[in-house]
Chains A and B, each alone.
Chain A
């Protein structure tokens, strides 16, 4: 002890005291902070910890299959095989991992290494699309989501997938993921009906996420029934609340998992065979006339076939359309752009969304009104000189300005009664009864208010309710509409043009078909539908077509009675004999009227064959849109026109009604009527075949 110097100096007490104060202050502060974190804010941190460890997994529901009425597949899910890697399950040994990569590399044709990764490649990483080697993908995945499978190669052939699956034991961490891809076997034949799928749009993300969809994974319908019936087809994703660790590895279920509910299968009313025939007939007819004229008359048309008794749509062709089988996996950008920029608007469903003047087909609305209101009797004959001049009046004491109205046949039809007015589609007859003419048809004739009532009774101006997105309601004008939208009073001439489906009147091809179908069906305006039945995946029938109608015009008082410009509040129905006479008149169109003539040898056999006993109405609707105006075609008496024809058969008990519309098709009788007649004839042939097969 004494070898060391004795150094006994006492250090100042206050300097120790300062340290004691420091200890109390610092640890005291820590205790306060701990109390705040653990006791006061504890529940908030517990919530955060729970959020950390909880993950919601939405197992995908299988989308329903779409069939036609005969069980023919129009949209289905097929397996797509993706080779995936879960880095967390790869062997620990670097050599083993490398040998797996080498074995896999040759099989899936993907290099083991392909340059370095930097921040940019990691940020831009998209499985299957990024140009990376296996090692790079594994590196990115293992640093970000080591326990989630990441796709190395998407859509490998089935044989490759089988080899990978056989090697599962030998290659831990490598697996095959089977994802469903929507396939459209019929492609552009039915694309305007079926539509296609696309990613959930950002603007609707909240809506879909709320309903259990996964934004980056699940797809939703973008067009056709894929869109309109998405809720039925999509099903409900499963719901699992699981506990995960920091690497994303699932530890256990936190709640009873809810299995996904698969979407229902839908059988459409479409008959794919008839659809094919309708499309072929339309394209063929247009090609023939384009070739015949030596110029492009039209590349745009519509054919719709329905059963007037039930409202079932059997075929719906909008041409041109698109190839939805090119959009099965992704929507290719260049293709979508090409479709969007096409002036014929292939993405637009012309059958239900295009509004055109219906032309002479609309005369059937006027026809019902003229007889039902007693403007003339069916036998009353009116003189058609081929051209008439009317003093156009905009108001009560307007002295008027003269305006000429012509019949399509400038020579005139002479004396014309109701039946021939329909059969010959005599414009002058309809001008006079529609808007009144001197002493022949005193007063204002049917008048615009009543005319619009009968048009609406036949379904014009309202949506048909077909299960397709984007349907338009057309336009049935009246004086109020004109004042509001054009700032002009209604003139006598406006009634004249409206009476023959020109001027302001607009309708979609589906409305035109439905209006004639209503007359063919004895006055019942059917609810148009595309759904035959809905069957759940386990086979239970969830919904079956029960034909329903909006109203029966011969029974339901759907016609408002007008006094001048004002409704009287009284209503009435259409007399059944009026509907029957309209029906007979349309039969006369086919036997002796505008649809009985064939101008060309090609149609001889078709037009002479009356085995289907059809009736119909032609329409040649003059128009002047931007395209025609740009070509300088809009000159008086020489306007371009669309070709319309609606036919149904058999005329006295119709079970098939077909409309054909050809844009700029010149004349209904020559361009559209042959299409309709071919579809009608084909319908009966198919019916015979089905009958034979079922026996």
Chain B
């Protein structure tokens, strides 16, 4: 064990600082999002509490050598699967079954699944030494991911399914999948879409199909119909201008024309109240986090650490891109939140846990950050 002081010298303040600022910005925006809604009144308080807990977790996880997690992967994998099975049979909340109530706190087991998958895949692929992947390796990783993914898909939780698939694919990508395999997968995807088109997308739930339809073919007359949320989000963003209307000042937010503003559409709140400048700053902070993750990945002491940092970098990148894309109405509505900023205790906790692991990798890397 190295000198502890030396280890903390490599603590990445850029990464930590950006995550902390985003979380604080998030709490401020959640406070603005209350807008007189009594049900949301305690949310900034709760998010602050979660942030405090998350920071403790972050530092504890950072202090611990990330390699100790290897032994925890199999038990975590099966506990997560148990949670998912439990949720799968539990009662419905918010349309689809995604939550597990532990005391007063709602836990989303899928959040746990993301960490387990990243750790598990990092471990799996770091054992693989060849330059390019062979089919048996791809198959093994697929079985590992599939064991959890199937239950999430059946919930049904399409967005989380896609997140996990993207993480899996990103691991295949970085560990050296051949371009020809990608082309085969693309061909299969096109085939599936064609089959889907012929069968009327019977495998999608009604609401998922409707969201995609609404995105692709919006009804121009549906002023208050299914496209309402997205339309209002666009209006809200548009009112921002250069510097925004000011904190707590956006009529779209404060008069509650913008819906789900504390989670899915919190980026719109930011855009309306802090304008183009505010959104550029927040996007910059997100990019800092993602780039630091990749930088740490490229300079990690070993391939396990490298893949952990890489996995969390991809996760944050993908979630940010999808959430902002939904807000800007360039992709269909999904349930993905904006990392660090959106309201959500388990999401913040798992993200900070991830940052803690990345810090742990950074602290133990040979090159100074």
**B249: min CB distance to chain A, Å:** 12
A27 to B287, Cβ gap below 8 A? yes
Within A17-56, the residues touching B (CB, 8 Å) are: 18-20, 23, 26-27, 29-31, 33-35, 37-39, 41-42, 44-46, 48-50, 52-53
Chain A residues within an 8 Å CB radius of B241: 38-39, 42, 46
CB distance A48 to B235 under 8 Å? yes
- How far apart are the CA atoms of A12 and B232 in the complex, in Å? 44
Interface centre among A11, A26, A41 (most CB of B within 10 A): A11
Task: Assess whether B271 is in contact with A34, with CB atoms less than 8 Å apart.
Answer: yes
- Whether B238 pairs with A44 at a CB distance below 8 angstroms is yes
Instruction: Check B275 against A38 for contact (C-beta < 8 Å).
Output: yes
Cβ contact within 8 Å between A1 and B174: no
CB contacts (< 8 Å) of A42 on chain B: these are: 238-241
Quick check: is A292 within 8 A (CB to CB) of the other chain? Answer: no
Give the residues from 231 to 282 in chain B that come closer than 8 angstroms, CB to CB, to chain A.
Answer: 232, 234-242, 251-252, 255-257, 271, 275-276, 279-280
Cβ of A243 under 8 Å from chain B: yes
Q: Does B70 contact A (CB under 8 A)?
A: yes
Q: Which of A111-119, A245-253, A631-639, A651-659 contacts B (4 or more CB under 8 A)?
A: A245-253
Decide if A334 is an interface residue (CB 8 Å cutoff).
no
Q: Give the Cβ gap from A174 to chain B, nearest Cβ, in Å.
A: 22
A38-B238, A52-B257 given as contacts; is B301 within 8 A of A8 (CB)?
Answer: yes
B57 CB-CB contact with A under 8 Å: no
- Given A7-B303, A23-B287, A37-B237; A244-B255 close (CB under 8 Å): yes
Sample 23 A-B pairs with CB under 8 A, ordered by A number.
A6-B302, A7-B127, A9-B126, A11-B174, A11-B297, A11-B306, A12-B174, A16-B294, A16-B298, A20-B291, A26-B321, A33-B330, A34-B328, A37-B237, A38-B240, A38-B271, A39-B276, A42-B239, A46-B239, A49-B235, A52-B235, A245-B36, A251-B255
Having A7-B127, A23-B317, A52-B257, one finds 18 other A-B pairs with CB under 8 Å, namely A1-B1, A4-B70, A7-B302, A18-B173, A27-B287, A27-B321, A30-B321, A33-B328, A35-B276, A38-B242, A44-B238, A45-B237, A45-B239, A48-B235, A52-B232, A53-B252, A243-B255, A245-B36
Query: Is A15 located at the chain interface by the 8 A CB criterion?
Result: yes
Cβ–Cβ contact A52 & B242, under 8 A: no
Question: Residues of B contacting A30 with CB < 8 Å?
Answer: 283, 321, 324-325, 328
Which residue from chain A places its CB closest to the CB of B238 in the assembled complex? A45
Q: Which 5 A-B pairs have the closest CB atoms?
A: A45-B238, A245-B255, A246-B256, A9-B303, A4-B67
Binding site for B on A (CB under 8 A): 1, 3-13, 15-16, 18-20, 23, 26-27, 29-31, 33-35, 37-39, 41-42, 44-46, 48-50, 52-53, 243-247, 251
- A11, A23, A52: the one within 8 Å of B255 (CB): A52
Give the distance in Å from the alpha carbon of A4 to the alpha carbon of B283 in the complex: 38
Residue picked from B36, B255, B283, most chain A C-beta under 10 Å: B255
Docked-complex contact B242 and A39, CB < 8 angstroms: yes
Q: Which of A16, A20, A33, A49 has the most CB of B within 10 A?
A: A49
Q: Which residues of B contact A46 (CB under 8 A)?
A: 238-239, 241
Given contacts A23-B291, A46-B239, contact A38 B173 (CB under 8 A): no
Q: Which residue of A lies closest to B275 (CB)?
A: A38
- Closest Cβ–Cβ distance, residue A236 to chain B (whole Å): 29
Task: List A contacts of B174 (CB < 8 A).
Answer: 11-12, 15-16
Q: Which of A3, A11, A26, A251 contacts B175 (CB 8 A)?
A: A11
For the complex formed, measure the closest distance between the CB of A28 and the CB atoms of chain B, giving whole angstroms: 10
Q: Which residue of A lies closest to B243 (CB)?
A: A38
Q: Mark B309-325, 1 if CB is under 8 A from A, else 0.
A: 01000100100010011
Given contacts A1-B67, A38-B276, are A31 and B283 in contact (CB under 8 A)?
yes
Across-interface contacts of A10 in B (CB, < 8 A): 303
Q: Choose from B1, B256, B286 the contact partner of A247 (Cβ within 8 Å).
A: B256
Q: How far is the CB of A15 from chain B (nearest CB, A)?
A: 5
Query: Is B290 in contact with chain A by the CB < 8 A criterion?
Result: yes
Interface size on B (CB < 8 Å)?
53
User: Could you say which residues of chain A place their CB within 8 Å of the CB of B200?
Assistant: none
Q: Which residues of A contact B111 (CB under 8 A)?
A: none
Q: Are A49 and B303 in contact (CB under 8 A)?
A: no
> Contacts of B173 on A, CB cut-off 8 Å?
15, 18
Query: Is B287 within 8 A of A37, CB to CB?
Result: no
Residue numbers in B under 8 Å from A9 (CB-CB): 126, 129, 303
Give the residues in chain A near B291, CB-CB below 8 Å. 20, 23
In the bound assembly, the distance between CA atoms of A540 and B211 in angstroms comes to 63
A249 nearest CB neighbor, chain B only: B255
Main secondary structure of the interface of B (DSSP, over half): helix
Q: Which of B216-240 contact A (CB under 8 A)?
A: 232, 234-240
> What's the Cα separation between A35 and B276 when bound, in Å?
7
Distance in angstroms from B303 CB to nearest chain A CB is 4
In the complex, what residues of A have CB within 8 A of residue B314's CB?
A: 19
- A40 closest partner in B (C-beta): B238
**Interface presence of B304 (CB below 8 A):** yes
Closest partner residue, chain B, to A46 (CB atom): B239
CA distance A694 to B310 in the complex (A): 106
B147 contacts the other chain (CB 8 A): no
Verify B303–A8 contact, CB threshold 8 A: yes
Minimum C-beta distance from A142 to chain B (A): 15
- How far is it, in angstroms, between the C-alpha of A44 and the C-alpha of B242 when the chains are bound? 15
Closest to A44 in B: B238
Closest-CB distance, B319 to chain A (whole angstroms): 12
Instruction: Give the distance to chain B from A207, nearest Cβ to Cβ, in Å.
Output: 26
- Distance between Cα atoms of A46 and B298 in the complex (Å): 45
Specify which of B67, B236, B283, B302 is in contact with A8 (CB 8 Å cutoff): B302
Chain B CB count within 10 A is highest, among A7, A8, A41, for A7
A15 to B298, CA, bound (A): 11
Q: Contacts A23-B291, A26-B321, A245-B255 hold; do A1 and B279 have CB atoms under 8 A apart?
A: no
B255 touches A34 (CB 8 A): no
Q: Separation in Å of the A55 CB from the closest CB of chain B?
A: 11
> Within 8 Å CB of B238, what residues of A?
37-38, 41-42, 44-46, 48-49
How far apart are B145's CB and chain A's nearest CB, in angstroms?
19
Task: Looking at the assembled complex, report how far the CB atom of A478 sits from the nearest CB atom of chain B, in whole angstroms.
Answer: 59
The 0/1 profile, CB within 8 Å of A marked 1, for residues 53-78 of chain B is: 00000000000010100100000000
List B contacts of A12 (CB < 8 A).
174, 176
Question: Do residues A52 and B251 form an inter-chain contact, with CB atoms below 8 A?
Answer: yes
Q: Decide: B294 and A49 in contact? CB cutoff 8 A.
A: no
Q: Which residues of A contact B127 (CB under 8 A)?
A: 5, 7
Q: Smallest distance from the beta carbon of B26 to chain A beta carbons, Å?
A: 18
How many whole Å from A461's CB to the nearest CB in chain B? 54
Which residues of the partner chain B approach A11 to less than 8 Å between Cβ atoms? 174-176, 297-298, 303, 306, 310
Say which residue of B252, B283, B306 sits within 8 Å of A52 (CB atoms): B252
Check B290–A23 contact: CB distance below 8 A. yes
Residues of chain B from 29 to 86 with CB closer than 8 A to chain A in the complex: 36, 65, 67, 70
Given contacts A11-B303, A245-B256, contact A49 B251 (CB under 8 A): yes
Q: Is the CB of A20 within 8 A of B283?
A: no
Give Cα distance in the complex from A30 to B267, angstroms.
12
Which of chain B's residues have a CB closer than 8 A to the CB of A4? 67, 70, 304
Contact call A45/B176, Cβ cutoff below 8 A? no
Smallest Cβ distance from A4 to chain B, in angstroms? Answer: 4
**Cα of A621 to Cα of B239 in the assembled complex, Å:** 77
Query: Which residues of A are found within 8 Å of B283, using beta-carbon distances?
Result: 27, 30-31
A42 and B234 CA atoms in complex are apart in Å by 10
